Amino acid sequence: MQVHARARDYPQSQFGGVLPHEAELTAGVRIQPGRSYGFFTDTTRCIGCKACEVACKEWNNLPADNVGLTGMSYDNTGALSANTWRHVAFVEKIAGPGGGPAEMPPYQSQWLMMSDLCKHCHNPPCLEACPTGALFKTEFDTVVVQQDICNGCGYCVPACPFGVVELSETDGKAHKCTLCYDRLKGGLEPACAKSCPTDSIQFGEIADLQSRAAERVEQLHGLGVASAYLYGAPGSPGATGDLGHLNAFFLLTDAPEVYNLPRAPTRASNRVRPSLATGLATMAGFALAAIALLGRRA
């Protein structure tokens, strides 16, 4: 069991206040403005406990919603929404009677669990779509909606290629994961990562996380998990369509679609020019046709 050397500085069960740079103790990283932070979510370590979902809602004071048995394995959350910023997906892949789950490749191969969230894209399409500037890039290179500026136009909703952003039915504004912006400002690790018992969710500096993740993929390949790959790391699936890399990226062992992730997400703005051109051409066509028709009549 590895502990941070600084842990020895606090020898009592009770602290006088918030520890300075607490993230250093809990995640091994000191949080400083001007650097890039994010999550590496390693699905091969996920036990589907949903502690991340609860910690997220507790810290961000989000209401419970969607009370009901979905019948979709152990997933009664369903999807990310204005009130749900972490969502653990469950995919049962067990062979039916006869095959049976006895013989299995190592690492979560028969029942996939994955804790999903806002990807905090390097080039966030939601931010581009926002007319008010409510969506912005923070000093930690994360993407946040400023609630006092958002006017609830909802342009960000279709702009997100992952279906993350949603307008709240309560206040009509857009809501999504802030990567615990307030906690980062206080030197604290985000709530979901801190609560994750198996380090499936790892918080840190992006460059560090990316190299850690690459090593993990190599380790898993060595252990016989040939299917392990990164989603959202530079040059990998998910980091397509000019999004750049994703600051919240994943290690997966099955196709992205199995986890309900797009294989090749794109930016809506990339489609603006062609669709504008098509639109203008159509308009021009109609105009020409109208002129021709009206001219003939005249």
Cα–Cα distance for residue pair 26/194, rounded to 1 Å: 7
Of 20, 33, 100, 158, which lies in the binding site for other proteins, with binding defined by CB under 8 A? Answer: 100
Pick the closer one to other proteins by CB: 96 or 235: 96
The yes or no reply on residue 68 touching other proteins (CB under 8 A) is yes
Of 18, 33, 66, 226, which lies in the binding site for other proteins, with binding defined by CB under 8 A? Answer: 66
For 99-124, b/e burial (b = at least 16 CB within 10 A) is: eeeeeeeebbbeebbbbbbbbbbbeb
The yes or no reply on residue 167 touching other proteins (CB under 8 A) is no
The yes or no reply on residue 58 touching other proteins (CB under 8 A) is yes
The yes or no reply on residue 13 touching other proteins (CB under 8 A) is yes
Of 5, 34, 235, 298, which lies in the binding site for other proteins, with binding defined by CB under 8 A? Answer: 5
Q: Which residues contact 81 (CB under 8 A, 6 or more apart)?
A: 65, 66, 166
Q: Answer for the pair 149, 130: CB distance below 8 angstroms, yes or no.
A: no
Backbone dihedral region for residue 166 (phi beyond 0: left; psi -120 to 50: alpha; all else: beta): beta
Beta strands at 166-167 and 174-175: parallel, antiparallel or unpaired: antiparallel
Cα–Cα distance for residue pair 179/171, rounded to 1 Å: 21
Binding mask 28-57 for other proteins (x = CB under 8 A): -----------------x-xxxxx-xx--x
Pick the closer one to other proteins by CB: 147 or 219: 219
Binding mask 71-90 for other proteins (x = CB under 8 A): x-xx-xx-------------
Of 16, 34, 97, 295, which lies in the binding site for other proteins, with binding defined by CB under 8 A? Answer: 97
Strand partners, 234: none
C-alpha closest to that of 199 among 46, 59, 53, 1: 46
Cα–Cα distance for residue pair 117/88, rounded to 1 Å: 9
Which sign, positive or negative, has the C-alpha torsion 142, 126, 235, 194? positive
CB of 52 to other proteins, least distance (A): 11
The yes or no reply on residue 147 touching other proteins (CB under 8 A) is no
What type of residue is 127? L
Taking CB under 8 A as the binding criterion, the range among 157-165, 178-186, 191-199, 261-269 that sits at the site for other proteins is: 191-199
Of 19, 26, 35, 65, which lies in the binding site for other proteins, with binding defined by CB under 8 A? Answer: 65
The yes or no reply on residue 274 touching other proteins (CB under 8 A) is no
Which sign, positive or negative, has the C-alpha torsion 274, 276, 279, 285? negative
- Which token pair is 92? 């049962």
Pick the closer one to other proteins by CB: 134 or 201: 201
Pick the closer one to other proteins by CB: 58 or 182: 58
Cα–Cα distance for residue pair 258/197, rounded to 1 Å: 24
Binding mask 219-258 for other proteins (x = CB under 8 A): x---x-----------------------------------
4-11 LR contacts (CB < 8 Å, sep 24+)? 4/28
Contact residues for other proteins, defined by CB under 8 A: 1-5, 7-8, 10-14, 45, 47-51, 53-54, 57-58, 63-69, 71, 73-74, 76-77, 92, 94-97, 100-104, 106-108, 110-113, 197-199, 219, 223
